[in-house]
Structure 1
């Protein structure tokens, strides 16, 4: 089972406030009219280790957040890197995935232990209103860049598959994402997870089949694990790959997904909306529910580890499995995308765009592989844009304490992507540049995450081990240095 250095803490879990209640687990609830066996009176059951079936039931939030690592921006960045530089940037994909494991686990841990998302915790600690607004603005720009990549990717996929004009493809992608958000709001996080995981399976098949048909050169693959750059453009692509791999909105979203999935119902600091969270709202705008904007007060402070009904240690064990599976899938698929381009598109003219890459795959591997690639791109756009809209709404709620319905937010954030499609900008270039914007947003999400998860007063005995914090600091320094190098190269014209 995956472990982290945080497991070295062995202090007993603090007692939870309130009267003792019988502990329940998924699938073990009692039903009216049933009597406990042996005629004994029901009482608190002793806490047991989570069995494999229970761990399997708890898996899901990381798989949903992991879709962000397989969005169309990843496809464009990895395809471009493989087509232009072959195996050169394999090490960037691998390193990014290793860092992503740690980052996503810390995000999920924050949501589970505190019962709050990262934006909520930051919103409570940034007392100055202008500081919150400034932080929200950069996070909102990052979320918009994310949405831009996802809608454009879905539009390109529909154009490749059915010849749908890009502007109409963007509208269709946005509409389908609204349907998925309705599923999330009406049917709850578990159903939403099933839908997203189904799309994730389609993505994995669509992007990996070609590697088995035309396998990479093992010597070139291992040579690509040696860290190095070739020129300024390779640095740009490395920043783009990292921006597409370690996505800020995935950091914000994962803490919220874990909170919504595991929070104690009926008043604790988790849940899908203001009422479920026990937050009184004031100043509601009259109108239909999909247009209603509410403001809420801060949720009450909770003791570390008291935000869920299930044992926190069991949830964190399941989360490590969840993150491991999600990152293994995401890392494998991203690597396959780069290898697919390195083997089949290197030196082929016109492969600097998704349309050119599709045509080249059709010519090299046949229409079946090319079609599967386009289907994977479509599933990627549909799944990731829904998760992105969820993250954006959480960012606004946590930092500005304003809750805008997901459907209304989806309509607002759809406009920039549709404008770019309507104006005729190069879709693939827009995708790559959007990932560079994301790479500059990483430190603003990552540095506070590492700092907060190391605090004894916030996470109690579940705080980071010093080595975990050191690894987080090292990842932050690396990403900030790479972004600084990229900025210097761009400003100096090098």
Structure 2
């Protein structure tokens, strides 16, 4: 009986992959800063937003996974079948800019968090993290690299551990989860930021590309258009993987908001501009161990998110240009693909070392993501219901409805971002 349980646990763990990594990468240092600010400024009042985003982000990421597994090609290649090439190129170029800025902000947060722990130079630590990420992407085969990323998702549990060191108001938490309320214009801005953080274009490209990688790296696998017999098993895996990954992502975000609300908001600290600042502000009110866990979480999630940010940009550009694109290739076999990864990471380092304010850089990254997300999501929703692309494997109606709802909400959020 014990072995049976162990065997089932291993089988379930093996079904986790692209969805789990995508969900974990969603809680990058930039996301941590957003969730910390939400808790610090609004207390428990915006927890409901995370419950609202969960089904929407699940739908969008399921659409991404369906497209990759069914067609066997990336999102940009599918978009080119619907939009004129110049529009796809423009969207991919904006994605690269937004991802590069996000990489710079994440690296900066990682360096600052590591400096608080070690006392070493933040810039040198940032450089070390960037080089480590590049080496992992360039010289470790996809299967082993994907395994490394799966293990890195465990760092997210640091944010659940932080809750053990803070005093929680259980009633306020419950009300915050189920009672939507927006008390001022600042709360509207935070809701828009939460949506922009949890539903981001780089996550669409990454999960689609990872499903393609899963096909390319498994000799027995084929795109479902070529081998429909695999559909039932693969769709079951995709649903389990995606719902689990997005569930963990949302749960971690909720834990961060609760931590910030129970400590920072309670003690009148309401203006948090970065993940590292949140960790620093946490120490005097929640203790050194809570601060350490929070800081290690920033570093760990950054190591997970940076390759996803750089990789998603490389997949998008590679697909749109017809290059060889994939982490299973050696650097000399896919020069263009790895050049984009290297360039995005190096430009991220340059942003960290430049006089550019990382908070302002992150703001413009959010603006670009908000603008780019809507047309990309429209294209995805058209592709996933188009018989010429998906054959008989069009997305289920429930996923389609939620996907279009997410697209509409992101459009409203993009408009609200400019108005507010």
TM-score class, shorter-chain normalisation, is 0.7 to 0.9
Q: CA deviation at 1:124?
A: 3.9
Q: CA deviation at 1:409?
A: 2.3
- Find out whether 1:327 has 2:251 as its counterpart: no
Residue aligning to 2:40: 83
Residue aligning to 1:262: 215
Q: CA deviation at 1:187?
A: 2.0
Please identify, of 82-91 and 155-164, the stretch whose mean Cα deviation from structure 2 is larger: 155-164
The residue correspondences of 1:291-370 to structure 2 (distance < 5 A) are 305-306=225-226, 311-346=230-265, 347-348=268-269, 351-370=272-291
Cα distance in 2 for partners of 1:429, 1:217 equals 34
Residue aligning to 2:197: 244
Cα distance in 2 for partners of 1:410, 1:152 equals 18
Change in CA separation of 1:361 and 1:464 when aligned onto 2, cut-off 3 Å: same
Q: CA deviation at 1:313?
A: 1.5
Cα distance in 1 for partners of 2:20, 2:270 equals 36
Q: Which runs of 5+ in 2 are unaligned?
A: 1-7, 325-334
Give SS of 1:461's match.
Answer: coil
Give SS of 2:56's match.
Answer: helix
> In the alignment, is the contact (CA less than 8 A) between 2:318 and 2:337 conserved in 1?
no
Whose radius of gyration is greater, 1 or 2?
1
Q: CA deviation at 1:256?
A: 0.8
In the alignment, which of 110, 113, 133 is matched to residue 157 of structure 1?
113
Q: CA deviation at 1:138?
A: 2.4
Q: CA deviation at 1:477?
A: 0.8
In the alignment, which of 161, 176, 181 is matched to residue 137 of structure 2?
181
Residue aligning to 2:328: none
Residue aligning to 2:305: 384
Cα distance in 2 for partners of 1:427, 1:131 equals 29
> In the alignment, is the contact (CA less than 8 A) between 2:159 and 2:293 conserved in 1?
yes
- Find out whether 1:197 has 2:118 as its counterpart: no
> In the alignment, is the contact (CA less than 8 A) between 2:134 and 2:345 conserved in 1?
no
In the alignment, which of 102, 116, 119 is matched to residue 59 of structure 2?
102
Please identify, of 90-99 and 349-358, the stretch whose mean Cα deviation from structure 2 is larger: 349-358
> In the alignment, is the contact (CA less than 8 A) between 1:250 and 1:391 conserved in 2?
yes
- Find out whether 1:413 has 2:413 as its counterpart: no
Change in CA separation of 1:307 and 1:61 when aligned onto 2, cut-off 3 Å: farther
Q: CA deviation at 1:421?
A: 2.6
Change in CA separation of 1:93 and 1:432 when aligned onto 2, cut-off 3 Å: farther
Give SS of 1:311's match.
Answer: helix
Q: Deviations over 1:421-445 (max 9, x none)?
A: 3234444554455334423332132
Q: Which runs of 5+ in 1 are unaligned?
A: 1-50, 271-301, 490-494
- Find out whether 1:470 has 2:401 as its counterpart: yes
- Find out whether 1:422 has 2:350 as its counterpart: no
> In the alignment, is the contact (CA less than 8 A) between 1:118 and 1:255 conserved in 2?
yes
Residue aligning to 1:139: 95
> In the alignment, is the contact (CA less than 8 A) between 1:154 and 1:170 conserved in 2?
yes
- Find out whether 1:435 has 2:362 as its counterpart: no
Q: Deviations over 1:368-420 (max 9, x none)?
A: 11111111100111111011111111010112324544543233223443333
Give SS of 2:80's match.
Answer: helix
Change in CA separation of 1:475 and 1:322 when aligned onto 2, cut-off 3 Å: same
TM-score if structure 2 supplies the norm length?
0.87
Change in CA separation of 1:52 and 1:353 when aligned onto 2, cut-off 3 Å: closer
Cα distance in 1 for partners of 2:280, 2:396 equals 50
Q: Deviations over 1:311-370 (max 9, x none)?
A: 121011011111122112111111101110000001127644434422332112221111
Residue aligning to 1:118: 75
Q: Deviations over 1:190-231 (max 9, x none)?
A: 2122211221102x2222211122253222223323333233
In the alignment, which of 181, 184, 190 is matched to residue 231 of structure 1?
184
Change in CA separation of 1:433 and 1:157 when aligned onto 2, cut-off 3 Å: farther
Give SS of 1:345's match.
Answer: helix
